[in-house]
Structure 1
Amino acid sequence: MADDDTIKGLSVEAESSRTDDTELTPQEQRRVIRRVDARLIVMLGFLHTVSLLDRGNLSTAAVAGMEKELHLQGNQYNIIAVVFFPPYICLQMLGPVLIRRLGPKIFLAGICFIWGIAMMCGGFVHNWAQLAGIRIIIGALEAGFFPAAVYLIATWYTRYQMQKRFAIFYLLGCVASAFTGILSYGITFMNGLGGLTAWRWIFVIQGLLTCTLAAISYFVLINFLDRMRSNKSRFLSDREYDFITHQINDDRGDVRLEPFNLKKYLVAALDINIWGFGLVYFCTTSTAYSIAYFLPLIYRQGMGFSMGASLCLFAPPYVAAGITMMATSWIGDKYRLRGPIIVFNAMLALIGLPLMTFTKGNGPRLVGCFLTTMGANSNVPAAMAYQANNVRGQWKRAACSAIFVGLGASGGMVGSLVFRSQDAPEYRPGMLTCIGLQAAAIVLVGLLTIRLYLRNRRVDRGELVIGDLPGFRYTY
Structure 2
Amino acid sequence: MTRTENEKVNSNALVEAVETQKPTSQNIDDDPVYSYKEQRKIIRRVDLRLILMLGFLHCVCLIDRGNLGGAAVAGMTKELNLVGNRYNEIAVSFFPPYICLQIFGPILVRKIGPINYLSGVCFIWGAVMLSAGFVKKWEQMVGIRIIIGGLEAGFFPASVYLISTWYTRYDIQQRYAIFYLLGCVAAAFTGILSYGITFMNGLGGLTAWRWIFVIQGLLTSIIAAISWFVLIDFPDRMKTSKRNFLSDSEYEFIMRRIEMDRADVTLEPFNLKKYLGAGLDINIWAFGFIYFSSTTTAYAISYFLPTLYEGMGFSQGASLCLYAPPYAAAGILMVVTSRIGDQYHIRGPILIFNALVTITGLPLLGFTKGTAPRMVGAFLTTMGCNANIPASMAYQANNIRGQWKRAFASAVFVGLGASGGMTGSLVFRSQDAPNYHPGILTSLGLSVLIIVLVLLLSLRFYILNTRVARGELVIGNLPGFKYTY
Q: TM-score range by the shorter chain?
A: over 0.9
Q: Check 1:204–1:233 CA distance in 2 against 1; reply closer, same or farther (3 A cut).
A: closer
- Give the C-alpha shift of residue 168 in structure 1: 0.2
User: 1:136 corresponds to which letter in structure 2?
Assistant: I
1:296 corresponds to: 306
Is the aligned partner of 1:332 residue 2:349?
no
Contact 1:24–1:239 (Cα < 8 Å) also in 2: no
- Equivalent positions of 1:53-452 (< 5 A) are 53-231=63-241, 234-300=244-310, 302-452=311-461
Question: Residues of 1 paired with 2:371 and 2:253: CA distance?
Answer: 54
Contact 1:282–1:408 (Cα < 8 Å) also in 2: yes
Q: Any idea what the Cα deviations from partners look like across 1:217-270, whole Å, max 9, x if unmatched?
A: 000000000001244754101110111111010000000000000111000111
2:29 corresponds to: 16
Contact 1:15–1:26 (Cα < 8 Å) also in 2: no
TM-score w.r.t. the length of structure 1 is 0.95
- Give the C-alpha shift of residue 177 in structure 1: 2.3
Is the aligned partner of 1:37 residue 2:47?
yes
Contact 2:60–2:187 (Cα < 8 Å) also in 1: no
Question: Residues of 2 paired with 1:413 and 1:317: CA distance?
Answer: 22
Q: Any idea what the Cα deviations from partners look like across 1:343-390, whole Å, max 9, x if unmatched?
A: 000000000000011111100000000000000000000000000000
Contact 2:468–2:480 (Cα < 8 Å) also in 1: yes
Contact 2:429–2:436 (Cα < 8 Å) also in 1: yes
Question: Residues of 2 paired with 1:320 and 1:166: CA distance?
Answer: 17
Contact 1:84–1:139 (Cα < 8 Å) also in 2: yes
SS at match of 2:171: helix
2:4 corresponds to: none
Q: Any idea what the Cα deviations from partners look like across 1:59-85, whole Å, max 9, x if unmatched?
A: 010001100111111000000000100
User: 1:328 corresponds to which letter in structure 2?
Assistant: T
- Give the C-alpha shift of residue 24 in structure 1: 1.7
User: 1:235 corresponds to which letter in structure 2?
Assistant: F
Q: Check 1:287–1:110 CA distance in 2 against 1; reply closer, same or farther (3 A cut).
A: same
Contact 1:325–1:377 (Cα < 8 Å) also in 2: yes
User: 2:327 corresponds to which letter in structure 1?
Assistant: Y
1:8 corresponds to: none
SS at match of 2:239: helix
1:7 corresponds to: none
- Give the C-alpha shift of residue 399 in structure 1: 0.4
TM-score w.r.t. the length of structure 2 is 0.94
Contact 1:284–1:376 (Cα < 8 Å) also in 2: yes
Question: Residues of 2 paired with 1:234 and 1:461: CA distance?
Answer: 43
* Structure 1: tracts of 5 or more residues without a match: 1-13
Give RMSD over aligned pairs.
0.9
Contact 2:28–2:261 (Cα < 8 Å) also in 1: no
* Structure 2: tracts of 5 or more residues without a match: 1-26
User: 1:420 corresponds to which letter in structure 2?
Assistant: R
Question: Residues of 2 paired with 1:226 and 1:261: CA distance?
Answer: 19
SS at match of 1:160: coil
Contact 1:179–1:315 (Cα < 8 Å) also in 2: yes
2:14 corresponds to: none
Of all paired residues, the percent bearing the same amino acid is: 70
Question: Residues of 2 paired with 1:428 and 1:124: CA distance?
Answer: 35
User: 1:333 corresponds to which letter in structure 2?
Assistant: D
Question: Residues of 2 paired with 1:234 and 1:168: CA distance?
Answer: 23
Contact 2:115–2:231 (Cα < 8 Å) also in 1: yes
Question: Residues of 2 paired with 1:422 and 1:391: CA distance?
Answer: 43
User: 1:317 corresponds to which letter in structure 2?
Assistant: P
Contact 2:275–2:408 (Cα < 8 Å) also in 1: yes
Question: Residues of 1 paired with 2:302 and 2:244: CA distance?
Answer: 41
Q: Check 1:15–1:250 CA distance in 2 against 1; reply closer, same or farther (3 A cut).
A: closer
Contact 2:338–2:391 (Cα < 8 Å) also in 1: yes
Contact 1:59–1:296 (Cα < 8 Å) also in 2: yes
Contact 1:123–1:203 (Cα < 8 Å) also in 2: yes
